Amino acid sequence: MQNSDVEDTIFPSNYSIIAGDKLIDLSTPLVMGIVNVTPDSFYSGSRSESVNEILTRVNDMLNNGASILDIGGYSSRPGATDISIEDEIARIQPAINAISKEFPDAIISIDTFRSEVAKTAIEEGAHIINDISGFGIDPEIADVAGYYGVPYILMHIQGTPQNMQKNVEYNNLFGDISKYFSKKIKILESKGVKDIILDPGFGFSKTIDQNYELLDCLEHFRFLERPILAGLSRKSMIYKKLGITPEESLEGTIALNKIALLKGAKILRVHDVMEAVELIVR
């Protein structure tokens, strides 16, 4: 794929967001690297618990071209064990602090649905809130985004990580998700959130077939005039479909990421940064 293949499409290419004191240009898609400071994320290769492991992983991602680092201390895989706010903060706080000191120019996203965790993360140096719940679990996280003036990634989900795969009923998949986004965008704007990124939530409250239906219509979300994030990396829609494991799902991830780019995705959230960057630049 040539770089121009991504840029010269029917999709708006003038997206940009402000994170910290940096203007992030999304005219060419960017890569967000996943850094899970958890012991139980679904893909074992993404887990980093000690500060040294985290810094090594982050260094590799930045060297391979990651533009954003997404730090998560709560596993949101289907049926994941719930942990306390205190435990989540204890996981992410030293990680973000260490990354901010070691890599002061890095753009950090905090993957959480809890307002207290988001607040702590921002005060430690995070620049973006990535909320899988669309402020449905803790509404105050939207206020945190507005108060600190940080970009907010609005993901679609029905329910919680513990019950989301029991909530997969839709009148019309694209229509229902569009209504969800439209309603929540208005609420976020009323709270002063200026930069909103849309994540349709692959793997969250969706069957395997619904995930592929969603990917097929991804470009239609352009009417909302917000940049789209695609989080497809090594998910069950790939490995269950192919009868393999998450560890064997890199090639499938690359294929779906390419489709997402052609359909207008501006951010790829991935475990494997180098391969995603190569998709964009080659």
What is the domain-level CATH number for residue 187? Answer: 3.20.20.20
- Say if residues 252 and 212 touch (Cβ distance below 8 Å): no
Give residue 119's pLDDT. Answer: 98
- pLDDT at 8 (0 to 100): 39
Report the domain count for the chain.
1
What are the residues whose beta carbons fall under 8 Å from the beta carbon of 85, sequence distance 6 or more?
A: 114, 116, 117
- Give the whole-angstrom CA distance, residue 94 versus residue 90: 7
The catalytically annotated residue of 184, 234, 263, 269 is 269
Q: Are 54 and 66 in contact (CB under 8 A)?
A: no
Question: Which residue type does 64 have?
Answer: N
Select which of 184, 226, 234, 235 is catalytic. 235
Domain that holds residue 91: 3-281
Q: What pLDDT does 75 receive?
A: 85
CB 128 within 8 A of CB 151: yes
Radius of gyration of the chain (CA): 17
Mean pLDDT of 201-213: 97
103-138 per-position pLDDT tens digit: 999 999 999 999 999 999 999 999 999 999 999 999
**Whether 119 contacts 142, CB under 8 Å:** no
The verdict on whether 269 is a catalytic residue reads yes
Does the predicted model carry a pTM greater than 0.85? yes
7 has pLDDT over 60: no
Residue 159's pLDDT is: 87
CA dihedral 3, 99, 155, 276 (to 10 degrees): 30
Could you tell me the pLDDT band of residue 30, with boundaries at 50, 70 and 90?
Answer: very high
How far apart are the two ends of the chain, measured CA to CA in Å?
5
- Which residue matches tokens 């998949």? 173
